[in-house]
Structure 1
Amino acid sequence: MKRYLYLLLLFVLTHLSAQAQHDSIPLNSIIEKAVKTNNDHPVEKVYLHLDKPYYAVGDTIWFKAYLTMDFHVPSEISKVLNVELINSRDSVVEELRLPVANGTAFGNIVLSGLNYRQGNYRLRAYTQWMFNFNTSYMFDKIITVGSALNKDVNTNISYSGNVNDKNSKLSARILYRGTDGAILPNKRVEWRIEKNGDIVLKGRGNTDAKGYLYVAINTTKREDISGGLLITSIEAENKKTANSTFILKNAFNGADVQFFPEGGMLLADVPSQLAFKAIQGNGLGLDVKGTVVDGQGKEVLSFASQHLGMGKFLFTPQGNTAYTAKVEFPDGSKATYNLPRVAADGINLAVNNANPHTLILQIGASPSFYQKNKNKAFYIVAKNGGFVTFAAQSILNEQTTTAAIPKSKFKSGVLEVTLLSSAGEPLSERLVFINHDDALNIAVTPDKPSYLARGKVSLNVAAKMADKPAEGSFSVAVVDETKVPFAEDAATTILSNILLTSDVSGYVEQPNYYFIKPDVKKVDDLDVLMLTQGFREFGFTEILSGKIPAVKLGAEQGIALSGILRKFNGIPVFKGAVRIIIPDKNFSAETTTNADGEFSFKNLVFSDSSKVTISARNNVDSKNMKITMNTGFYPVVGRSENFADEIINIDSVLSPSIKNSEKQYQFNQILKEVVIKSAPIKKVTHQDYSALTGLSSIADHEVSGEQLKGCNNFVMCLTTALIGITYRDNNFYITRDYNAGNKNPVQFYLKGMPVDVSFLNSVNPNEVEGIEIFNSDGFSSINKMNNTNGVISINMKEVPKGTKVTASQLKELFPDQNVVTFTPKGYAKTRQFYLPKYDVSKAQLASDLRTTIYWNPAVITDKLGNATLNFYNSDGRGTYKAVIEGIDKDGNIGRTVIRYTVK
């Protein structure tokens, strides 16, 4: 793997002591360990440029991925990218596997009415390599999808109350309107709160004369409310019953304020900057004001937030004094918070980043610390983009030491500055954002000052880095901004993602605010953000102690399929012949197993729809052999840090887009189910299979087939759908037993037959009747026979009686175990963005209501940095917005937004 080693600036702040310190580590040794860690754990980042900030059911999500390493150069580590769309229940609805070439990939996701409903989704992109890190550098963004399909009512909800306060009254206020915008007064509404399929609370009421329903949530189980769903049913137009679902996640949480001392601690008698961040329960910033008082209740100072609930103030804390902050919130409520404890002994690092060309570092020690450590050496090390780009040694011969460092020593992005003792112990740390305003200069020039509807547009692109032409790869999206309005401050861009949010932990609100025409205030606001956020990379404690986690997952260079060949008695087959056949690719290959019976086929190329056959028939005694395929890597779907971007009132916030989609997709309505009353159909359960009769008649948990709707990869859906089950290392375990140390996996049964996890990859989720989970095996002795713990029965829908079964179908039901035929996850097929050409046809075409006017993920500038784009407008009139983003071969990134008028 090609790596880059950057020259370090070795800088002495003061005269060095001639006395050696026996407990010290040479600065060069610290640097060498940091360099080795970076070389062994190179960081990949991935960013997705999307055509729009939000969508409607029926739309297509168009995206281009930029996969980078080091200082943003195209990655040489991974050649496979995974992209997932995850619903509000943390189930993967869509999964794409894409080939990466020159650090880029592109694809699309069709939001069909069969699989998608209105709601907030997560778009996640990652490489397998990224999961070697404590915190992933994967792309994770909230995507809101509105819908006008088969809709009978529009809603708007607001919450009040604090779920953490037992004396607080929880309530919801819901406004109901018809699809024509008229309010729905005096309508009967039934409501219920569900969590994990159980009804926690239910009630009924009527909308008032203004169309509002008030829901008072009176329950002692407040912990069951958070993370639940509020579901209402109202009689809408034409006496139809319209259901609405509202997520209660963080709906009732109160506000909170956190305080962050610069450098990590408050020191007695040392001037200190104290940053703070006030957030609401939904994760968004909340502007506050307040005062700091000492232990005697005397007011020391007042403060107020400066941006999105964040702010800072300077004060000199006294020793043996406890400080509190009295905070007032916008609604007039008040709260008191204890400030961080004042340390009597210590040393701290402060950084002044206000000067555009110079960083001012200041080391401040408390009087007692200074006396004990006078004339001792300390190190300052700065990491930028994962690399140590600055290292300095300082002698503590004054209580306060100041030094200026040219910012030209660093690249644009997050800089981590750490103060270490001579023994290598981290003492203080500060994050700083370096912005040289050195992004690619991408000029986009329209050929006309304004255009007509359906008129031809030509955009000339000229990319430069400084004064030199830039050869690079770019993506361009043009949208009708009248139909898709969006605040630029809140945009996720290639600059905000690669330079900022990918390198800090926690949610960053309105990340693009800091990159749109930066001024003195924005620089200061960004500095406050740095004071309140954590760093993603490995810290020096891990680096110097050698406790960096070992690399467990390799970088994917292509699709790999692997498995184990065993005899029926369980003994691995050594040097067994295994053959792979992919008919639609006219591909076949053969390999042999190792001493453990393991085999692998690497760097395969096939699409999602390809059938693959793995065969061991070319072996002596092959009829007594069994192939077990390894399951793929399916990372756990955890909670997104960006949940604050979820839109609660989609109907109102996305109104222009939803109204346009209603016209655009009016002929794509999904037919609603017509219920025909007849004899009830018997539900298939585990009791239909003789091998499972020893289990309890009632399962501990159940998952209905309905819950698997929209599921494409069965195993991946099981990782989130199974209640009380933990997924680890390609196996499933009873959670409570796994946490107690029992590492025996559950035993799966499909149609009453025992199967392993790899076999589940071939299950069609649409054919599943339901899943029953048993925490014990009852009287069946299943766990004793298989050395397992717990049983999961997957019950398939009954095949209609009277259907003839052919010989080949019968053989599929009882396949030879030395042959496996399945459809593994291959590379996704990508569609071409449709571009109408209105100057070709003179016939009057149907209305063109597109919101994405142009999408091109493959814009390549030539040696002069130029490219030309041609397309046609839709019927929409107003302002169109064109966004171009990209990266050149040297890792320089850039973004440009222009607007033009269509009359």
Structure 2
Amino acid sequence: MLKKQFSNLNLGILLFLSVIGINAQQNSKLLITSKEAYAEKIYLQLSKNVFTTEEIIWIKAVVTDAVNHAPTKLSEVLYVELIDFDERVIDNKVLKLDSGISSTFFQLDETIAPGRYLIRAYTEWNKNFGDTFISKQYVNIYKSDIPDKNESAIRNVILTETQDNQLKLSAQLFPKVINPKYRGKLKVLLDLGENTDSVELRKDKAGFYQLDYVLPQDIVKAKLELKLDSIKVKNFDFDFVNTYSKWIVVNKDYTDLQFFPEGGKLIDGLPTKLAFKALDYDGKGKFVQGTIIDQLGNEIKRFRSNKLGMGAILLLPNKNKTYFAQIMDNKGVTYKYPIPEIHEKGHVLSVRQLEAYVAIRILSNYKPSDSLILKTSSRGVVYHKETLILKNGKLDVALNKQALPEGIIKISLFNQLEEPILERLFFNVNDSKRLKLDVQTNLSTYSQRDKVNIEIAAVEKNSDTIAAANYSVLVLNKKVLGDTFNGRNNIYSYFLLDSELKGVIESPMRYFNKENTKRNRDLDVLMLTQGWRNYIFEPKDSDISFSYRPEKGIHVSGNVRSSLNPKKKPKKPLELTLMTFGKPEGNVFTQSIDSTGSFTFNVGEVYSDDLKILLQTRNHKGKNKDFVINLDKKALPEINFEEKEKVQLADSVNAFVEKSAERKQIEDAFNVSSNTIALDEVNITGYKMTPERERMMDLHGPPDVVIEDKELHKKVKNWSYGLFSVLLFNYPEDINVRRVGRNGGFLIAEVFGADFTCILIDGIPVRIRDYPLIGDLPTEEIKSVEIIESPKSPKKYAFDIFGRTEALDRALVVSFINIYTYSKKGLFGVSRTPGMTKATISGLSPKLEFYTPKHENLTAEDWRVPDLRSVIHWNPEVKANSKGKAEVEFFNSDDIGDMLVIVEGITKDGKIGYFETNYSVEEKLEK
């Protein structure tokens, strides 16, 4: 049994953890065997899974305990991040959880590169469980138009067979599609499955970068990837580079057929259910059918999968035979796959679900009268443990399904030494444990811009359960989304499947769709195949311990050290003051610092994505004292981005993108008046435009390297002695910092390749005699450092710097370093108060309300204003009354056709509910 060590946790947390998983069942004898039972599950409901670059990604977050799915009582802070295909966090939100629930958004724009993005969410507490309980969802983002194939950076991909029967991959590469200024040699990365390679190309005589590469034997697919440096915006240790990749499928008919004996092994003479799963070149399930044959070619059994490539047959193994599965592809080519090894002695475990019971059968040819231990568990909690004795190598057991939670159940068989023998997962279908919802619209058919009224009711006898239930309401145009919505998960599939099995579950809603009459059979083969070795809640032999605490709010922590000796702690007590500048209003906190020099401030609920803070040290007399203040830095969990093939525009996606392009075109036409000229903009990914930056860009062009304030402040060490010391030790590839002058001299910063580097602070050129002062600027006063390698008008500031216009020869290469400060007053406007430190941290993210126009008393002029919402309505936090009822109102857009209404809900005791309904919208004839 696991020992529990909670040395890092306070008593309140300990008391909560000791009863988790027990309250709902009112059974104090339940045993927790897995550390993961103490985790939090995080469900993210997204408005869609396909977006265009001008849209908003709407998100609802539901955080629960892992066992009962009741809204969490541990964490009150949730982190949500948008991560691109180069594993960079390009946007992040910090959410305040109210009884485990919150909502947020990501605003996309035209600077977002099209591709596959990851949205992930985690709590500080869930860092105790590694990557397992970090919630992840992938979305595809497209430009608001159909891309021209001639705009592709990789074109004319051809596979040809060589004389020695190998395949040669040929392609033409156009790096200027990614970066118009690109020139020189081009490096191409190749992902060949088990191996990788790289090729360096030069332009051929025709001016093309031509790739010709002989592929290895038996390769299924290959990926070509270009990575080009563009403008580098340095933030969170990432360089913003332009990436383009393309997958090439070499063998479209490839099939990987895998087999999974029920319980784990095939035993001679014991009938066993043999599950199988067929995967295509993309790792997705594909339909197969074929036969099981022996070594002589005799047909033993035929098999046929479901649409996702999974199925099962009953096989009576004979150790004197060798079995194969045989299938035929579309070209008539036959493939053979070996069946798993047959063992001479052992046990077989089989599970069959009846209406009220689970029938378990154990067969053995090892010890016919053996004594065995049977355990039944779910989510790391043991619900049933019993010692059983085989009779003539056979034993039948029946378990009451109502005594078990709904979802994945693990049945394990042990010997008397409690050594595992067999295990099997099955899904306990129990609709009575769900929240039953009834959703009604006031009409079945509406006209454009009509008001819609939706009534939600929980069909539940227990009024305590449904009181204050929390619902979400999402309304979408069914036709525009098409099949793009079928692959998403929902509240059922996440809590009951996705959150407990490793890997990607294809079409998870299929298993909870009542129109799928084979859903229970599909669930069983899913457990037999993907559930094999992929269950998250495994028993642990080691002690349970936790390193991270649950967060209740935003806090600032760190330590105070001597300004002369970074290792020296304060000898005398100090007073430390913290000021915040956020909403609803700024606040001031003060605490005494003892000889340890450590401090922690709980700043409460402060709403600001970038929260400005100021810390000041004083002695006991109230006088400012100069100490170095080091803030603790919260490490981001490691990013594990699952690569997929380059997003293809399937017909369903095409329809969505075309509709988005139409919407944007109409809105742009309406927003731009006849006497207005719309100008093209220079957009830089991750670069926040300010008036100062815009002026500099207009005069001298965009920067090549940007080092932001968050990045700079993170790099400051205890021994740092000004801005240039930070640049010297952390950015040697971007800026050449060196010491000049006599007697120790001073540091100067130069751009590589430049004959002279002009330094501007807040747009004001620094005189050459003042260059020695720049390096000592306090880093905390710097907003950003930016490099323009080849600026327009490079000699513009010659007189300001040298006092004469002819100081810079025309032949000299001049580059710029632009330094922006918080004071915005140039070199001599930067000052530092002794003992004062300025910093920026992440506060709680403000919410954004979904906007629905109120189409009341419409005039002819009102109808001229287009309403082409991609999401018809979104309300993530609808609170039910004491009877579990709620009502939502909104107005339709100009879209016509069938609208899909999705309602999801959760109660305070962890019952989850899902409901779909439809209504139609017709064109309004009289406007």
TM-score (norm 1): 0.73
Q: CA RMSD in A?
A: 4.5
1:64 aligns with 2:60: yes
- Could you tell me whether the CA contact under 8 Å between 1:10 and 1:390 is conserved in 2? no
| Mapping for residues 556-567 of structure 1, pairs under 5 Å | 556-567=551-562
What's the counterpart of residue 876 of structure 1?
A: 895
C-alpha separation between the residues in 2 aligned to 1:274 and 1:539? 23
Give the superposition deviation at 1:304.
2.6
Give the superposition deviation at 1:712.
11
Alpha-carbon spacing, 1:350–1:150, altered in 2? closer, same or farther (3 Å): closer
Alpha-carbon spacing, 1:748–1:478, altered in 2? closer, same or farther (3 Å): same
Give the superposition deviation at 1:886.
1.3
C-alpha separation between the residues in 2 aligned to 1:224 and 1:766? 46
What's the counterpart of residue 133 of structure 2?
A: 137
Three-state SS of the structure 2 residue aligned to 1:531 is: helix
1:128 aligns with 2:124: yes
Give the superposition deviation at 1:619.
6.7
- Could you tell me whether the CA contact under 8 Å between 1:154 and 1:651 is conserved in 2? no
Give the superposition deviation at 1:337.
3.2
Deviation per CA, 1:546-592, whole angstroms, max 9, x where unpaired?
x2563222222212222122223212336543321113432121234
What's the counterpart of residue 278 of structure 1?
A: 278
1:524 aligns with 2:521: yes
Give the superposition deviation at 1:662.
1.8
Question: After the TM superposition, which of the residue ranges 130-139 and 257-266 deviates more from structure 2?
Answer: 130-139
What's the counterpart of residue 84 of structure 1?
A: 81
Give the superposition deviation at 1:853.
1.2
Question: After the TM superposition, which of the residue ranges 103-112 and 609-618 deviates more from structure 2?
Answer: 609-618
C-alpha separation between the residues in 1 aligned to 2:59 and 2:24? 38
What's the counterpart of residue 416 of structure 2?
A: 422
| Mapping for residues 321-360 of structure 1, pairs under 5 Å | 321-330=321-330, 332-353=332-353, 355-360=354-359
What's the counterpart of residue 614 of structure 1?
A: 615
Give the superposition deviation at 1:671.
2.1
C-alpha separation between the residues in 1 aligned to 2:630 and 2:436? 54
Three-state SS of the structure 2 residue aligned to 1:889 is: coil
Alpha-carbon spacing, 1:142–1:226, altered in 2? closer, same or farther (3 Å): same
1:897 aligns with 2:916: yes
1:824 to 837, 841, 844: 841
| Mapping for residues 312-327 of structure 1, pairs under 5 Å | 312-319=312-319, 321-327=321-327
- Could you tell me whether the CA contact under 8 Å between 1:289 and 1:329 is conserved in 2? no
What's the counterpart of residue 169 of structure 1?
A: 167
What's the counterpart of residue 502 of structure 1?
A: 499
What's the counterpart of residue 301 of structure 2?
A: 301
- Could you tell me whether the CA contact under 8 Å between 2:84 and 2:117 is conserved in 1? yes
- Could you tell me whether the CA contact under 8 Å between 1:99 and 1:558 is conserved in 2? yes
Q: Which amino acid aligns with 2:399?
A: I
Alpha-carbon spacing, 1:862–1:341, altered in 2? closer, same or farther (3 Å): same
Give the superposition deviation at 1:126.
1.7
- Could you tell me whether the CA contact under 8 Å between 1:246 and 1:648 is conserved in 2? no
What's the counterpart of residue 473 of structure 1?
A: 470
Alpha-carbon spacing, 1:344–1:394, altered in 2? closer, same or farther (3 Å): same
Three-state SS of the structure 2 residue aligned to 1:664 is: helix
C-alpha separation between the residues in 2 aligned to 1:763 and 1:398? 81
Give the superposition deviation at 1:474.
0.7
- Could you tell me whether the CA contact under 8 Å between 1:474 and 1:858 is conserved in 2? yes
1:105 aligns with 2:102: yes
Give the superposition deviation at 1:884.
0.9
What's the counterpart of residue 579 of structure 1?
A: 577
Alpha-carbon spacing, 1:618–1:231, altered in 2? closer, same or farther (3 Å): closer
Give the superposition deviation at 1:256.
1.9
Alpha-carbon spacing, 1:392–1:808, altered in 2? closer, same or farther (3 Å): farther
Q: Which amino acid aligns with 1:895?
A: Y
Alpha-carbon spacing, 1:244–1:864, altered in 2? closer, same or farther (3 Å): same
Give the superposition deviation at 1:247.
3.4
Deviation per CA, 1:56-105, whole angstroms, max 9, x where unpaired?
11111111111111311111121111111111222222111111011101
Q: Which amino acid aligns with 1:608?
A: D
Rg comparison, structure with higher value:
2
Alpha-carbon spacing, 1:349–1:221, altered in 2? closer, same or farther (3 Å): closer
Structure 2 stretches of 5 or more lacking a match? 1-12, 175-184, 192-196, 229-241, 672-677, 685-701, 716-727, 739-746, 748-777, 790-814, 923-927
Alpha-carbon spacing, 1:231–1:514, altered in 2? closer, same or farther (3 Å): same
C-alpha separation between the residues in 2 aligned to 1:565 and 1:223? 58
Give the superposition deviation at 1:761.
10
What's the counterpart of residue 756 of structure 2?
A: none
C-alpha separation between the residues in 1 aligned to 2:128 and 2:511? 30
| Mapping for residues 790-869 of structure 1, pairs under 5 Å | 798-800=816-818, 810=827, 815=832, 818-840=835-857, 842=859, 843-844=861-862, 845-869=864-888
Alpha-carbon spacing, 1:440–1:10, altered in 2? closer, same or farther (3 Å): closer
C-alpha separation between the residues in 2 aligned to 1:609 and 1:616? 23
Give the superposition deviation at 1:199.
5.6
1:462 aligns with 2:453: no
Alpha-carbon spacing, 1:291–1:806, altered in 2? closer, same or farther (3 Å): closer
What's the counterpart of residue 792 of structure 2?
A: none
Give the superposition deviation at 1:361.
0.5
What's the counterpart of residue 687 of structure 1?
A: none
- Could you tell me whether the CA contact under 8 Å between 2:377 and 2:410 is conserved in 1? yes
Give the superposition deviation at 1:616.
2.6
Give the superposition deviation at 1:819.
3.0
- Could you tell me whether the CA contact under 8 Å between 1:292 and 1:324 is conserved in 2? yes
What's the counterpart of residue 51 of structure 1?
A: 47
1:552 to 547, 570, 577: 547
| Mapping for residues 614-653 of structure 1, pairs under 5 Å | 614-618=615-619, 625-640=627-642, 648-650=647-649, 652-653=651-652
Question: After the TM superposition, which of the residue ranges 304-313 and 584-593 deviates more from structure 2?
Answer: 584-593
The count of residues paired between Structure 1 and Structure 2 equals 751
- Could you tell me whether the CA contact under 8 Å between 2:379 and 2:537 is conserved in 1? no
Question: After the TM superposition, which of the residue ranges 442-451 and 573-582 deviates more from structure 2?
Answer: 573-582
Percent of pairs identical after alignment? 25
Question: After the TM superposition, which of the residue ranges 654-663 and 471-480 deviates more from structure 2?
Answer: 654-663
Give the superposition deviation at 1:382.
1.4
1:370 to 367, 381, 390: 367
Give the superposition deviation at 1:151.
5.4
Alpha-carbon spacing, 1:880–1:538, altered in 2? closer, same or farther (3 Å): closer
Deviation per CA, 1:185-239, whole angstroms, max 9, x where unpaired?
xxxxx99844699765688999xxxxxx99975357999995542699xxxxxxx
| Mapping for residues 663-702 of structure 1, pairs under 5 Å | 663-666=662-665, 667=668, 671=680, 673=682
C-alpha separation between the residues in 1 aligned to 2:787 and 2:639? 22
Q: Which amino acid aligns with 1:582?
A: T
Alpha-carbon spacing, 1:298–1:36, altered in 2? closer, same or farther (3 Å): closer
Q: Which amino acid aligns with 2:380?
A: G
Three-state SS of the structure 2 residue aligned to 1:81 is: strand
Q: Which amino acid aligns with 1:81?
A: L
Three-state SS of the structure 2 residue aligned to 1:901 is: strand
C-alpha separation between the residues in 2 aligned to 1:591 and 1:251? 66
Three-state SS of the structure 1 residue aligned to 2:32 is: helix
| Mapping for residues 215-234 of structure 1, pairs under 5 Å | 217-218=213-214, 226=222, 228-229=224-225
Give the superposition deviation at 1:426.
1.7
- Could you tell me whether the CA contact under 8 Å between 2:166 and 2:215 is conserved in 1? no
1:289 aligns with 2:289: yes
- Could you tell me whether the CA contact under 8 Å between 2:439 and 2:454 is conserved in 1? yes
- Could you tell me whether the CA contact under 8 Å between 1:260 and 1:275 is conserved in 2? yes
Give the superposition deviation at 1:502.
0.8
- Could you tell me whether the CA contact under 8 Å between 2:171 and 2:211 is conserved in 1? yes
Three-state SS of the structure 2 residue aligned to 1:97 is: strand
1:384 aligns with 2:378: yes
C-alpha separation between the residues in 2 aligned to 1:460 and 1:528? 38
C-alpha separation between the residues in 2 aligned to 1:9 and 1:470? 18
Give the superposition deviation at 1:868.
1.5
Q: Which amino acid aligns with 1:169?
A: L
Three-state SS of the structure 2 residue aligned to 1:857 is: strand
C-alpha separation between the residues in 1 aligned to 2:250 and 2:124? 34
